[in-house]
């Protein structure tokens, strides 16, 4: 799979955005997904999500599994 530089940059912007952090300090994958999708406006969802899953897997390999909260504080 080829991951384009613009995809890496978009993903990194999303994971580094403070608004995408949960109160436990971990990132909220739903917010990352939304930012990544809206930024890139993909025409092929299957390809887009294959890239997203690979980037997320790579992120967690470095930063650990990101525990998702079941209750969100806004």
Q: What is the pLDDT of residue 72?
A: 58
Q: What is the three-state SS of 19-54?
A: HHECCCCCECHHHHHHHHHHHHCCCCHHHHHHHHHH
> Which pair of structure tokens corresponds to residue 45?
């969802």
Say if 37 falls within a structural domain. yes
Say if 43 falls within a structural domain. yes
Say if 72 falls within a structural domain. no
Say if 70 falls within a structural domain. no
Say if 11 falls within a structural domain. yes
Say if 12 falls within a structural domain. yes
Q: What is the pLDDT of residue 40?
A: 97
**Nearest to 55, CA basis, from 17, 22, 6:** 6
Say if 24 falls within a structural domain. no
- Domain span including residue 53: 5-16+30-63
> What percent of the chain clears pLDDT 90, i.e. is strictly above it?
91
Total domains in the chain come to: 1
User: What SS3 state is found at 57?
Assistant: helix
Say if 73 falls within a structural domain. no
Mean pLDDT, residues 15-39 taken together: 96
Q: What is the pLDDT of residue 73?
A: 60
């Amino acid at each position: 799979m080829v991951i384009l530089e613009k995809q890496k940059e978009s993903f990194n912007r999303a994971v580094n955005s403070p608004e995408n952090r949960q109160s436990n300090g971990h990132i909220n994958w739903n917010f990352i997904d939304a930012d990544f999708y809206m930024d890139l406006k993909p025409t092929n969802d299957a390809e887009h999500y294959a890239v997203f899953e690979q980037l997320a897997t790579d992120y967690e390999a470095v930063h650990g599994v990101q525990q998702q909260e079941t209750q969100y504080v806004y």
